[in-house]
Amino acid sequence: MAGLADASWNTDLQERGEWKPARGNHDRPAAFSRVAQAVLHAAVEAEMANRLLGLVLVAVLLVAGGIALRPYVEYRLYAATAPRPVEPRGDLAEYERSTIALFERVSPSVVQVVGLGNNRQQVPRGGGAANEEQPVQSGTGFVWDAAGHVVTNDHVVEGATNLAVRLASGEAVRAQLVGVAPNYDLAVIRLEGVRQMPPPIAVGTSSDLKVGQAAFAIGNPFGLDQSLTTGIISALKRRLPTQGGREISNVIQTDAAINPGNSGGPLLDSSGRLIGVNTAIFSPSGSNAGIGFAIPVDVVNRIVPELIKNGRVPTPGIGIVAGNEDVATRMGVEGVVIVRTVPGSPAERAGLRGVNQQTGAIGDVIVAANDAPVRRLGDLTDELERVGVGNKIQLSLNRGGSKSSVAVDITDISQSR
């Protein structure tokens, strides 16, 4: 009974807040519980972190594997291991159709010209006879008429003992030299034994050409036959010196690609007509630099018939030796200074005077020909060619400050050389 009373008294004190049980061994299980919970929570967090790290590593491996396998997968997915289907072509542009038609119409008239020579001093590489014909140079030409005459450059056939021509059809034939005009860098050859003669090229005019109009060149650059290049006419009225020591006037400049092997080939307008004969390029490297030159067709159309008929072209002149133009310019002299006259020439007979050999005084200076101004030798030779051999030319002279005029006969000076 006493025990029950004590318990009841303790309970009452506790309810009134006057007594609290002592904290001792009775609280140790709760503390252990809290520690266990903390340890468990840390373990769960560590497990979750490990799982997250594992997921990240798996993702990284998957990404790395995808990157490594991507080329292989893409190759397998996209490699065209079978013939590709052909896409239908749209209509060609108008300029493409016209260029194709031009080439197909003109190219059969364009040929490759090869000059051959006998090499008797040296055995060719790779064997062969010592006197076997060796290529000297090659270029291009075009059929001029139905008789088989082909026009090319003089420098293409110069030094060749025999000539071979390959037609657009692939047929190779021999050719004979008909005539050359070194002063114009032109030559005419004639085909022999052709099974079917190619058509002659259509001839245009160079008198109405305009800078900026289209230009087309067909030739055999570096031996690559039947090559077409396109461009424009870059300039007109250029002057081009020739191996004959004269100048060709009214030369056409073009940016259509012209390379070694194009020499002698046709320069065409957009109608496929001949407007010039490709003859030279300006290039420090020897290859196309966008500056090519062509002999105007009006000169070609005058010279070629003479070569076919006579094998040569007369060189109109009056029999003078002209002074250096650079020296005359430095001296302030405008016109053609006569250094001397050729004995027995029309100039000597007309009384023209050269430089005084004792004093060095300038004699006559030609300042005009048939009332056309003469500022350089090319102006005089242009007028001489226009008038022609066998006719007279009226020369205006400046002699020591006084003006005079004299008529002089024009002769073929090539016969006196």
Distance from C-alpha of 399 to C-alpha of 340, rounded to nearest angstrom:
14
Phi first, then psi: give them for residue 266, nearest 5 degrees: -85, 140
pLDDT at 387: 92
Structural domain 98-119+131-192, CATH architecture: Beta Barrel (2.40)
CB 255 within 8 A of CB 235: no
The string of DSSP codes covering 111-171 is: EEEEEEEE--SSPPTT---TT-EEEEEEEEEEE-STT-EEEE-HHHHTT-SEEEEE-TTS-
pLDDT at 52: 83
Distance from C-alpha of 118 to C-alpha of 61, rounded to nearest angstrom:
76
- Alpha-carbon dihedral angle through residues 146, 250, 265, 281, given to the nearest 10 degrees: 170
Do domains 98-119+131-192 and 214-310 share one topology? The answer is yes
Q: pLDDT truncated to tens, each residue of the chain (417 aa)?
A: 444 444 444 555 455 544 455 445 555 667 777 777 777 777 778 888 888 888 888 888 888 887 887 888 778 788 888 898 999 988 999 999 999 999 999 999 999 999 987 654 443 434 344 455 566 789 999 999 999 999 999 999 998 999 999 999 999 999 999 999 988 999 999 999 999 999 999 999 999 999 999 999 999 988 888 999 999 999 998 888 776 667 788 899 999 988 888 999 999 999 999 999 999 877 665 555 678 999 999 999 999 999 999 999 988 999 998 888 777 777 788 889 999 999 999 999 999 998 888 888 888 999 999 999 998 888 898 899 889 899 999 999 998 888 999 999 999 987 655
Q: How far is CA 9 from CA 1, 17, 203, in A?
A: 12, 12, 143
pLDDT at 128: 41
**SS3 (DSSP) at 22:** coil
Question: What is the Cα Rg of the chain in Å?
Answer: 48
Q: How far is CA 133 from CA 111, 116, 117, 152, 179, in A?
A: 20, 6, 5, 21, 22
Q: How far is CA 209 from CA 215, 232, 395, in A?
A: 10, 11, 31
Distance from C-alpha of 338 to C-alpha of 354, rounded to nearest angstrom:
5
The catalytic residues are: 155, 185, 263
Domain ranges of the chain: 98-119+131-192, 214-310, 316-416
Distance from C-alpha of 134 to C-alpha of 124, rounded to nearest angstrom:
8
Fold of 214-310: Thrombin, subunit H (2.40.10)
Distance from C-alpha of 319 to C-alpha of 352, rounded to nearest angstrom:
10
Instruction: Provide CB contacts within 8 A for 331, sequence distance 6+.
Output: none
Q: What is the homologous superfamily of the domain 316-416 according to CATH?
A: PDZ domain (2.30.42.10)
With 0-12 CB in 10 A as exposed, 13-18 as middle and 19+ as buried, what is 392? middle
The amino acid sitting at 332 is G
**Which of 223, 224, 242 minimizes the C-alpha distance to 293?**
242
With 0-12 CB in 10 A as exposed, 13-18 as middle and 19+ as buried, what is 325? middle
**What tokens were used for 183?**
């002063």
Can you name the residues that pair with 219 across neighbouring β-strands?
227
CB 189 within 8 A of CB 158: no
